[in-house]
């Protein structure tokens, strides 16, 4: 058997246009950091041969967005940080994930995407960290440790919510620490409350980034969830 090489074209610029009655919008998103995926981008839950799939691809981990929108005859323009990704899988994600923390940030020349996933009970509540530190891309999850502080149980979903999440990445003698502090919840959305499935997913807005460079760390590994490296 032979794997043939394939040519991949990377889309760096996206354009979106929409209009509803007297409101119209045009958005242009240009990537500043190349598309990335953790290993193959496929996260498998369960024993090999009977696993289920959750996949993720950040097409634009960090970019610049320019927006032009009209309300009636009034036109407005704005610009700021932009991001674009894709999720897919073969079962609903709420059947795989009990809860997760997900954040992204830009600090000086560094772009960070970080998440910590806790699986549902059938998968033993195993955990998996997904992490990207881009200037030179660092994405080895075995070099990342994850910590949480000030954890409370959300009254609406029954899921744990931490005010502080901290990711530590070790590269030789250097240690990169990225901490996110939730000052307040700016969006709470239960994606499945109208669905027949009992699982629920909580989205929490994170507002504050504290990044620093230090000198040591520890590694994290998992068993019930695993990622596969992309074929060369």
**Residue 187 contacts by C-beta under 8 Å, 6 or more apart in sequence?**
203, 204, 205
Residue 223 located in a structural domain: yes
- Walk along the chain (232 residues) in steps of 10 and give the mean pLDDT of each run: 36 90 95 85 86 90 94 95 91 90 86 91 91 71 83 84 88 84 79 46 34 31 43 34
**Residue 9 contacts by C-beta under 8 Å, 6 or more apart in sequence?**
none
Residue 162 located in a structural domain: yes
Say how many domains are in the chain.
Answer: 1
Residue 22 located in a structural domain: yes
pLDDT confidence of residue 34: 85
Full residue range of the structural domain in which residue 37 is found? 13-227
Residue 1 located in a structural domain: no
Residue 232 located in a structural domain: no
Query: From the CB of residue 23, how many other CB atoms can be counted at a distance below 10 Å?
Result: 11
Tokens of 120: 């549902």
3-class state of residue 36 by DSSP: coil
Residue 84 located in a structural domain: yes
CA 82 to chain centroid, in Å, comes to: 14
Residue 52 located in a structural domain: yes
pLDDT confidence of residue 120: 92
pLDDT confidence of residue 215: 28
3-class state of residue 100 by DSSP: strand
- Please, what sign has the CA dihedral across residues 119, 125, 126, 127? positive
Please identify which residue in the block is written with the tokens 């499945």: 192
Burial of 64 (0-12, 13-18, 19+ CB in 10 A): middle
pTM over 0.75: no
pLDDT confidence of residue 223: 34
**Residue 203 contacts by C-beta under 8 Å, 6 or more apart in sequence?**
187, 188, 189, 191
Residue 124 located in a structural domain: yes
């Amino acid at each position: 058997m032979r794997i043939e090489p394939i040519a991949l074209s990377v889309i760096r610029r996206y354009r979106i246009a929409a209009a509803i009655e007297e409101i119209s919008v045009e958005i242009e998103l240009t990537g500043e950091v190349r598309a990335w995926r953790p290993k193959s981008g496929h996260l498998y839950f369960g024993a090999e041969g009977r696993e289920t799939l959750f996949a993720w691809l950040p097409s634009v981990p960090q970019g610049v967005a320019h927006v032009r929108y009209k309300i009636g005859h009034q036109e407005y323009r704005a610009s700021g940080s932009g991001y674009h990704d894709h999720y897919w899988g073969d079962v609903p994600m709420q059947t795989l994930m009990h809860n997760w923390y997900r954040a992204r940030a830009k600090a000086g020349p560094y772009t960070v995407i970080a998440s910590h996933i806790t699986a549902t009970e059938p998968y033993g509540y195993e955990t998996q960290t997904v992490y990207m530190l881009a200037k030179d891309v660092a994405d080895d999850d075995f070099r990342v440790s994850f910590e949480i502080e000030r954890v409370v149980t959300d009254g609406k979903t029954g899921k744990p919510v931490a005010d502080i999440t901290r990711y530590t990445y070790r590269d030789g003698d250097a240690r990169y620490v990225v901490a996110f502090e939730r000052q307040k919840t700016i969006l709470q959305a239960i994606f499945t409350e109208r669905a027949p499935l009992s699982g629920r997913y909580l989205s929490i807005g994170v507002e504050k980034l504290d990044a620093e460079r230090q000198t040591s760390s520890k590694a994290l590994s998992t068993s019930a969830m695993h990622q596969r490296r992309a074929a060369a």
